[in-house]
Amino acid sequence: MKFDLSGKKAVVTGGSNGIGKAISNTLKSQGAEVFILDLNENQSHKKAGIQTIITDISQWSQINSSLTSIPNTVDILINNAGIGFVGNIEQTEEADFDRLYQVNVKGVFNCVKAILPRMKKKGGVIINMASIVSHVAVKERLGYTMTKGAVFAMTNAIAKDYLSYGIRCNSISPARVHTPFVDDYLKKNYLEKEREMFEKLSKTQPIGRMAEPQEVADMVLYLCSDEASFITGTDFPIDGGFIKLNGN
């Protein structure tokens, strides 16, 4: 079977909702044993045999203590957890900047540092969730852009450092993805104009729509599989043409 993950142990951060939920379910469906690191548990995962470990990835002490619930050998780490923020540099307060760094950058650092010793024994795969803003400027995304640029660069450094251990490290750069976060954002900021704004945001992708979480999950599945064994140190945009085709 193509993309078979039978016998693999996978850790997914932020795996309870949105893109992370799709990733967790997809890896599970292909035979992996999945462990989620998240602040919340999705009850459907408990029924599906996916274990959720409640932890804050921005806190090294919490990540360290949570390792007792994770197998001694890990084959796959998906650094999906992250938070967003809208604002230019004048609209971004120090507390906003620090929180973005703590979750989106330090969180990735903490999880890789914690899991790597369990991966070095027989190799493995690390996938970091970057963003289109790692490549191109998007208006009023200063803090978020900083964090995703760091994730993009960190991916290359990890890939280079751990080649000899058989560890592949890649990143994925989504454009807008239709998740509950998007729906909540529109409801909060554009009450009674949600549909109009949804269509407007959808059309910022040249392909004319947002991505679905499953489309990101399918890319993750490919990169985790043996079919992608020759790929490392590479970023994969899932952007409906946003990076290359906007303005052309």
d(CA 88, CA 6): 45
Q: Which residues pair with 109 in a beta bridge?
A: none
d(CA 32, CA 50): 10
**DSSP of the chain:** -TT--TT-EEEEETTTSHHHHHHHHHHHHTT-EEEEEESS--HHHHHTT-EEEE--TT-HHHHHHHGGGS-S---EEEE-------B-GGG--HHHHHHHIIIIIIHHHHHHHHHHHHHTTT-EEEEEE--GGGTS--TTBHHHHHHHHHHHHHHHHHHHHTGGGTEEEEEEEE--B--HHHHHHHHHHSTT-HHHHHHHHHTTSTTSSPBPHHHHHHHHHHHHSGGGTT--S-EEEESTTHHHHTT-
pLDDT in the model for residue 4? 98
**DSSP of 169-201:** EEEEEE--B--HHHHHHHHHHSTT-HHHHHHHH
- List Cβ neighbours of 73 (8 Å cut-off, separation of 6 or more): 9, 118, 119, 121, 122
Token look-up 């280079």 returns 160
Answer left, alpha or beta for residue 38, where phi above 0 means left and psi between -120 and 50 means alpha.
beta
Please say whether the beta carbons of 190 and 196 come within 8 A: yes
pLDDT in the model for residue 185? 87
One digit per residue, pLDDT tens: the chain, 248 residues?
A: 899 999 999 999 999 999 999 999 999 999 999 999 999 999 999 999 999 999 999 999 999 999 999 999 999 999 999 999 999 999 999 999 999 999 999 999 999 999 999 999 999 999 999 999 999 999 999 999 999 999 999 999 999 999 999 999 999 999 999 999 899 989 998 988 999 999 999 999 999 999 999 999 999 999 999 999 999 999 999 999 999 998 64
d(CA 192, CA 133): 29
* Catalytic (active-site) positions: 144
Query: Domains along the chain?
Result: 9-175+212-242 (3.40.50.720), 177-210 (no CATH)
How many C-beta atoms surround the C-beta of residue 206 within 10 A? 16
At residue 71, what are phi and psi to the nearest 5 degrees?
Answer: -55, 155
d(CA 218, CA 221): 5
User: Of 72, 71, 36, nearest to 54 (Cα)?
Assistant: 36
